Amino acid sequence: MTGDSVATNLFNLDGKVAVVTGGSRGLGLEMCKAFASQGASVVIASRKLEACERAAAQIRKSAGVDAIGVECHVGKWADCSRLVDIAYEHFGRVDILVNNAGMSPLYPSLPEVTEELWDKVFDVNLKGAFRLSTLFAEKMAEAGSGSIINISSIAAVQPGAMELPYAAAKAALNNLTIGFARAYAPNVRVNCIMPGMFLTDIAKAWLPETLEHAGKIVPAGRAGEPNEIVGAALYFASDASSYTTGAILKVDGGLAFPAS
């Protein structure tokens, strides 16, 4: 077997099933496409069913794998349970869970952060990831293997004044990553990706000076393209990371300093 074929086989996901929350757009959609390109079937979950079904149809056509869309508000535990039930009813197994759903609403100032905003941010960024990880990890452990990937943010280690609720929730998600990695070892691997500035659809709202500033402060000299999250996602999802669990990987062009 050549070196190239060994490397290719490391990332092979034939016969696997991946569930991706927030999977209908942005980094979530890029990960869904990447998993499908390596042979995995995909469950695309988000609050907007139409967007999920559209993305699933696109993947079925382009990758030739099975893909379904599921409406799910991860901040509601009943929705989390329903997502698990649908995934197992349709595919009979789940090998990969990506907790990618997230939100960071704008607010005028810290004193003006409402209780509603705070609760909403923690529900989507943390509460849902905790509940889904618990439900899926139990089944993965019983089956003998599985990979959970949390999508955090460099805000977790380098927070700004205008994203503190989000940053706090993502810092807690980093903590959950390590805790779950230990709780469900050795059969379930749990890892985390911390993205930096990426040119997803959210970036369309950025001011031109924001992009110009990114070119100056990011060591790589630019913001990331959405498909540049794929390498890290495939690594954690596949056998390439068979001895990696409890890891937190920055994918940010070198912008953030790691937490001390």
Q: Which residues are catalytic?
A: 166
CA distances from 12 to 38, 40, 235, 244, 258 (A): 5, 8, 10, 17, 31
Spell 227-256 as b/e; 16+ CB within 10 A means b.
ebbbebbbbbbbebbeeebebbbbbbbebb
Strand extents, DSSP E, 161-253: 188-195, 248-251
Q: CA 86, CA 73: separation in Å to the nearest integer?
A: 14
Element (H, E) at 212: helix 208-217
